[in-house]
Chains A and B, each alone.
Chain A
Amino acid sequence: GAGVSQTPSNKVTEKGKYVELRCDPISGHTALYWYRQSLGQGPEFLIYFQGTGAADDSGLPNDRFFAVRPEGSVSTLKIQRTERGDSAVYLCASSPGGPWSTEAFFGQGTRLTVV
């Protein structure tokens, strides 16, 4: 596609439920990033993939959060036993690879609301 696509755009879930958020990066981009943005704040780094492997997962807040990218393209962010504090916009970005650069583009985000 022309840009980074994230689905769904909005997700409402009950506390304690499991959710999956999907990111389709720009075709050919080997690097993929997940960020979380709480209301009124800047995006917070979660995890970075280079190809299929997680090169840096230092931003994942706890073991309820997990992300995969099995074929080096689409990525899924998985959140178990959701809590109200998980409510945020989850942003995905992709880039051709290497250091963060001007070639990194963000998707529109998935707004997750835990009720």
Chain B
Amino acid sequence: GESVGLHLPTLSVQEGDNSIINCAYSNSASDYFIWYKQESGKGPQFIIDIRSNMDKRQGQRVTVLLNKTVKHLSLQIAATQPGDSAVYFCAENTPTSYDKVIFGPGTSLSVIP
């Protein structure tokens, strides 16, 4: 069945360092992926997305890498700041269920000042 999972449930990084959050997905038909950030007491907030015809996409301080061969997704945050502390989810979307996304379990990022 469809599923998305994360390798590391928690991640602690020093302020100013780069963070890498990983995600594995199992459905090879998934063609659209999104990273969300969720702060305590709030709903998920869009960070960056990538389609399966790309292997890299960059935003402001964030980069998403997609490796379709091993069905792996990563989110890189440059110069991590205290405001980046949150839970990060990857989510996938498939052509047969384009009306929704399936979320992985999440990684908690903690930035040490």
User: Among A44, A50, A104, A107, which residue has its beta carbon within 8 angstroms of that of B103?
Assistant: A44
Contact with A along B76-113 (1 / 0, CB 8 A): 00000000000001010100011111111110000000
Determine the distance from Cα of A105 to Cα of B105 in the docked complex, in whole angstroms.
19
Determine the distance from Cα of A2 to Cα of B43 in the docked complex, in whole angstroms.
15
Q: How large is the interface on B (under 10, 10 to 19, 20 to 34, 35 or more residues)?
A: 20 to 34
Determine the distance from Cα of A44 to Cα of B100 in the docked complex, in whole angstroms.
10
B24 to chain A, nearest CB (A): 13
Residue of B nearest to A41 (CB): B105
Q: Are A91 and B103 in contact (CB under 8 A)?
A: no
Choose the segment among B11-19, B44-52, B64-72 that binds chain A (4+ C-beta atoms closer than 8 Å): B44-52
User: Among A40, A45, A102, A109, which residue has its beta carbon within 8 angstroms of that of B100?
Assistant: A45
Residue of A nearest to B103 (CB): A42
Interface residues of B in 6-57 (CB under 8 A from A): 32, 34, 41-46, 49
Q: Are B99 and A93 in contact (CB under 8 A)?
A: no
Knowing A43-B103, A56-B99, say if A106 contacts B43 (CB, 8 Å).
yes
Knowing A42-B105, A99-B93, A102-B49, say if A91 contacts B43 (CB, 8 Å).
yes
Determine the distance from Cα of A55 to Cα of B99 in the docked complex, in whole angstroms.
9
Task: Judge whether A4 is part of the interface by a CB distance below 8 angstroms.
Answer: yes
User: Among B41, B98, B106, which residue has its beta carbon within 8 angstroms of that of A42?
Assistant: B106
Determine the distance from Cα of A31 to Cα of B42 in the docked complex, in whole angstroms.
20
Residue of B nearest to A106 (CB): B43
Residues in chain B near residue A4, CB distance under 8 A = 43
Q: Are A107 and B93 in contact (CB under 8 A)?
A: no
Contact with B along A37-77 (1 / 0, CB 8 A): 00011111100101000011001000000000000000000
Knowing A4-B43, A48-B100, say if A102 contacts B105 (CB, 8 Å).
no
4 nearest CB pairs, A to B? A106-B43, A42-B103, A99-B98, A45-B100
**Contact surface of B with A, Cβ cutoff 8 Å:** 4, 32, 34, 41-46, 49, 89, 91, 93, 97-106
5 CB < 8 A contacts A-B: A43-B89, A44-B103, A106-B43, A106-B44, A107-B43
